[in-house]
Structure 1
Amino acid sequence: MLLQLNIQNFAIVRSLEIDWQAGMTTITGETGAGKSIAIDALGLCLGDRATTNVVRPHCKKAELTANFDTKDNTIAQQWLQTHDLDLEGESHCILRRVISAEGRSKAYINGSQVPLAQLKEVGQLLINIHGQHDHQLIVKASHQCQLLDGYAKHQVLLDDVKHYAQQYKKLTKELELLQQNKQQREAKQQLLQYQVTELDEFNLQENEFTTLEADYKRHSNAQDLLDTTLSTLQSLSENENFNIIDTLRHCNDNISALARVDNQLESVAALLNESLIQLDEANDELKHYYQQVELDPESYNMIEERYSSALQLAKKHQLSPDALVGFHQELKQELTNISNDESRIDTVIEELEKVKGFYFDAASALSHSRQQAATSLSELISHSMQELNMPHGQFNIAVSNQKTTKGANKELISINGVDEINFQVSINPGQALEAMHKVASGGELSRISLAMQVILADKVVTPTLIFDEVDVGISGPTAAMVGKKLQQLAKNTQVICVTHLPQVACKGHQQLFVSKLTDGEHTETSVTELSKQSRVQEIARLLAGDKISQHSLANAKELLAG
């Protein structure tokens, strides 16, 4: 429930702190005093859009703080815990809004700055505000559907219908996109098929180009390799007149002999011996290599042809030859994906039919629930209308299944189901039920709206309900019944009601009086909690106006005693 509201520099309020009680609180005051200013401030705490004119003139900012007790509100407590915004060991939810004179706004929950959307989220769990213009909404089909669903409390059915409607919409978009791109895919598929076939036929393997390039270089330089190798072998060992190995061996023998005489030559002898061993090994390997090298024109032609083809393919696709194998795999995968897209069209069509079946099953269950709720709510509102000075009033909620009335072949996939909701009313005896906006006057609409709000408010889980001048256009015995209904509602819920009716004001467990003070230059609004005696004076003023008589005072006492 709402515990406290603190308002600083808001509109014509300089500083105001209001403590709220459980049960029913009524707010009264003179015309133009700003009776709804606390409701407006609460609205901003709950995330309403802020404008620059909400800041008191000549002030830098307005600051609004609402303190709620969430001890018995487990849903709000869970929300705060989920978002890490709860106060450890405390059951409070403090909403704060700071609005600068330039229109900039900051929002806080329990001292932590949050996006405005989070104020709205948690606000819906704390307060439900019914405004004086709600009766203008009840003639709209969309609002009528919301009211009926709110009474029926079949959120699971609504979620099912919404889920399948969204699935159907998603699949429909996918099918449209697949069909729109079909011609482009076919052209792309032809090109890919040609490219993949060409690369399949060439069939270059992983790392093959590196080997191919080495083979090509070797075969293209085979004669030079043979000539140079033979010449080198001649120099190393084959020339009988002079060769390097024989000369080095002779040197090695001489120095080795000298090293036996003078050990200072041992290191030189070792180096010469090691060099001789290495030259012998190099000579042997070179002989082996020479014997392996062949002049094979046929092999060379085959290697040259494949090597050239690889270079041409790489140039054609604007890549390096080493990237051809990876590119080949990418093209094959893209071709597979396009083929899958074609088969996906058939799959999506099948899925659409399945989802459509699930949707209409869910919509049918929702329709059945709405029919049941419509019967019950129609009876309750009819009875309430009769209590609110419409003795012959009859109310009916017509739920028509558009799939039945407009044909099963017509696509009627909507997140709200397939029902058309129409609030019908009859005010006078013998009058046929017709749409509300055709037969009900403004005052009658206000009473019907109030009847609905009181009935539906009993279904709402929020612990605080605010009625902001919803009793406009009501008077006399009807006003007394309205007050009685609101008081009954306040047995289980905190009710705050801005009113101009004494019959409603007197039913409050707490009454606040709003007044406007001015010194000719500055204007301020103040809110005062009325004592028992002050309440008598205020109820008498509401009854008689500014000229309070003994008779009006007596009537006021009688109303408060009742």
Structure 2
Amino acid sequence: MLLALRVKDFAIIDEITLDFHDGFNVITGETGAGKSLLVDAVAFLLGERASTDIIRSGSNRTLVEAMFTMNEEVERLLDEWDIPKEKDGTLLVSRELNKNGRSKCRVNGELVTVGMLERLLSNVVEIHGQHEHQKILHRDFQLEVFDRLGGDELLNQRNKVKELFSRLKNLYAERDEIYGKEKERQQRIDLLSFQIEEIEKANLKIGEEEELLEERQRLQNYEKIRMGIEEAIKFLYENPEGFSAFEQLGEGLDIIKTLSSLDENISNIANLLENAKIYLGEAVDNLIKYKDSMNLDPSAIEEIEERLYRISQLKRKYGKTIEEILEYKEKAKEELDMLSNMEARLENIEAEINSIEEKLLYESEKLSEMRKNIVQDFVKRVESELSELGMEHAKFSVEFIEPSSGLNINGVKLSEKGREVIEFMLSSNPGELFKPLRHVASGGELSRVMLALKTILNEVDNTPVLIFDEIDTGIGGETAYLLAQKLWNISKRRQVFCVTHLPQIAAWADYHFHVEKKIVNDQTRIRVSMLEDKSRILELSRMLGGSIVSDVSQQHAKELLVKASQLKGKESLENMGGES
């Protein structure tokens, strides 16, 4: 339910704040007074595209705010978006547009996008403008209306068909992609196989390159190392030209040993020298053994160079290090395994396609049967509503048509909505052939067909706020009374707003708002007031007689109110099982 609306600097509205009530609300005023501006303001709040032209002259921004009561879907979305909920169960939304074209939207004080606001309020408000009835000319809209009347069971069946259809399309696309890239797949398999084989043949080992570089350096300095070892041995142990280090250490040790018998403090030094002689001997032995083991193979350095060159080739292709090359090989194996298993995947896809095709054919046939089962009752109800709206000779029918696009399964063509689209057919007068609604109906007839459908949909529709903007165009006389009665009937389960120029409709209102233009300080302003008692009679009188308000028109206005009140009371009693 819409509890309150505030509009500021919107078109020629400077600022209006209105409180609303449940039931049937009408908005009236002279032609050009700006009645539909209130509807335009709500449409702006619902996310409709708007230019900066809607900002009142002299202002920098326009602002529309509204307070609603929440419903389950609104609560679900607020939880999904992590927007706090008001403790009193109200929903406060706003949208503003600045001169620079920037828009700001808020829900319970939190900034949201226009898309989020539109999605949220689509669960709360539905606007039927004076040109809204054109939607009913489109087959998609007709099917939507028709299916909604089938109730939850039919809608659930349609969702089941839609899910199967979507899954099947995805499988078709995946299969086509695999077949379409078969050449590329084979080429990729060949490349990966070659790369893996090339890396595996190299038999790389982590740390190998560092060892090879070290060995190459040793081999490249073989002579220098050998000669250096021989010279070191000569100085340390075998020096034909004089005492070697080993001999001199021995001489020194003998002297120290002799002295240690004279001074105990020197004995520790003797021990150190004794150890030094032992370590020096071991070092010389190791040098001699290492020199003897050195055997230069002329081909060894060539083999090392070849191995390092092979490693460098692999590094240029697959990674900067041996670790990266081996990592590339593992990833290549994984990809090769996946590509090699495409044949198995194709078999699985084909099997799944066959299964889902079979299910889709079954479920779509079931959906078609459910639709056919409600056609007769639907047609009867539409014709009954049209008769009450002054089209007593109109005949209505529903034609099932094969979808123009979709999938073809075993000769059956279907879309995500099933095996058929539908076309509403109308014969307005006796003897006329049925023709598609878009070819035969006038504007007034379309308005009445839309209202007839909306009346029927009222039983299954959950939108709490309905706004009708001058849908009474082309309607008058007794039909206007019937239209008013239907709008009031809808308002018993919904909050209904209707912008109207017909006094017969206005008289049925539970709440009557009047819009008028005024010139204030040489500027046009709009004022909205709720009419009661005498002021309401005067407005209905104006609507009956134009600008002239006479005693006769006032009396007629009173009669309209009394008649509407009596009929409302009668309907209420009948609904309660009482008598009028």
- Structure 1: distance between partners of 2:368 and 2:180: 36
- Structure 2: distance between partners of 1:444 and 1:105: 39
Q: After superposition, where does 1:121-140 map in structure 2 within 5 Å? A: 121-140=119-138
Q: How far apart are 1:226 and its partner, in Å?
A: 4.9
CA 1:23–1:302 in 2, change beyond 3 Å: closer, same or farther? same
1:391 alignment partner in structure 2: 392
Q: How far apart are 1:62 and its partner, in Å?
A: 1.2
Q: After superposition, where does 1:139-538 map in structure 2 within 5 Å? A: 139-153=137-151, 154-215=154-215, 225-239=225-239, 242-255=243-256, 257-258=258-259, 272=273, 275-290=276-291, 292-295=293-296, 306-314=307-315, 323-341=324-342, 343-402=344-403, 408-409=409-410, 412=413, 414-518=415-519, 521-538=522-539
Q: How far apart are 1:28 and its partner, in Å?
A: 0.7
Q: How far apart are 1:438 and its partner, in Å?
A: 2.6
Deviation string, structure 1 residues 305-360 (Cα, Å, up to 9, x no partner): 54554445556768556654344444444433443345544444444333433433
* Secondary structure of 2:92 counterpart: strand
1:545 alignment partner in structure 2: 546
Q: How far apart are 1:258 and its partner, in Å?
A: 4.1
Q: CA RMSD in A?
A: 3.2
Of 71, 81, 99 in structure 2, the residue corresponding to residue 83 of structure 1 is 81
1:103 alignment partner in structure 2: 101
Confirm or deny: 8 A CA contact 1:465 1:494 kept in the other structure. yes
Q: How far apart are 1:509 and its partner, in Å?
A: 0.6
Confirm or deny: 8 A CA contact 1:386 1:392 kept in the other structure. yes
1:69 alignment partner in structure 2: 69
**Which of 412-421 and 341-350 deviates more?**
341-350
- Structure 2: distance between partners of 1:412 and 1:203: 59
CA 1:334–1:463 in 2, change beyond 3 Å: closer, same or farther? closer
Q: TM (normalized to structure 1)?
A: 0.89
* Secondary structure of 2:122 counterpart: helix
Deviation string, structure 1 residues 153-205 (Cα, Å, up to 9, x no partner): 44433333333333333333333333333323333433443343344434334
Q: How far apart are 1:10 and its partner, in Å?
A: 0.9
Q: How far apart are 1:115 and its partner, in Å?
A: 0.9
CA 1:495–1:274 in 2, change beyond 3 Å: closer, same or farther? farther
Confirm or deny: 8 A CA contact 1:95 1:110 kept in the other structure. yes
Confirm or deny: 8 A CA contact 1:77 1:86 kept in the other structure. no
- Structure 1: distance between partners of 2:371 and 2:254: 116
- Structure 2: distance between partners of 1:303 and 1:390: 101
Q: How far apart are 1:51 and its partner, in Å?
A: 1.1
1:117 aligns with 2:118: no
Q: How far apart are 1:404 and its partner, in Å?
A: 13
Q: How far apart are 1:447 and its partner, in Å?
A: 1.0
**Which of 347-356 and 438-447 deviates more?**
347-356
Deviation string, structure 1 residues 392-418 (Cα, Å, up to 9, x no partner): 222222234559999744684633333
Q: How far apart are 1:229 and its partner, in Å?
A: 3.6
CA 1:531–1:65 in 2, change beyond 3 Å: closer, same or farther? same
- Structure 2: distance between partners of 1:141 and 1:127: 23
Q: Which structure 2 residue ranges, 5 or more long, are not aligned?
A: 564-580
Confirm or deny: 8 A CA contact 1:374 1:399 kept in the other structure. no
Q: How many residues align?
A: 560
- Structure 2: distance between partners of 1:405 and 1:169: 9
2:26 alignment partner in structure 1: 26
- Structure 1: distance between partners of 2:364 and 2:253: 105
Q: How far apart are 1:298 and its partner, in Å?
A: 7.4
Q: How far apart are 1:209 and its partner, in Å?
A: 4.0
Q: How far apart are 1:448 and its partner, in Å?
A: 0.8
CA 1:199–1:111 in 2, change beyond 3 Å: closer, same or farther? closer
Q: How far apart are 1:522 and its partner, in Å?
A: 1.1
- Structure 1: distance between partners of 2:216 and 2:406: 81
Q: TM (normalized to structure 2)?
A: 0.86
CA 1:545–1:283 in 2, change beyond 3 Å: closer, same or farther? same
CA 1:440–1:331 in 2, change beyond 3 Å: closer, same or farther? closer
1:12 alignment partner in structure 2: 12
Q: How far apart are 1:238 and its partner, in Å?
A: 4.5
Q: How far apart are 1:233 and its partner, in Å?
A: 3.4
Q: Which structure 1 residue ranges, 5 or more long, are not aligned?
A: none
Q: How far apart are 1:125 and its partner, in Å?
A: 1.7
* Secondary structure of 1:17 counterpart: strand
Q: How far apart are 1:508 and its partner, in Å?
A: 0.9
* Secondary structure of 1:167 counterpart: helix
Q: How far apart are 1:514 and its partner, in Å?
A: 0.7
Confirm or deny: 8 A CA contact 1:50 1:103 kept in the other structure. no
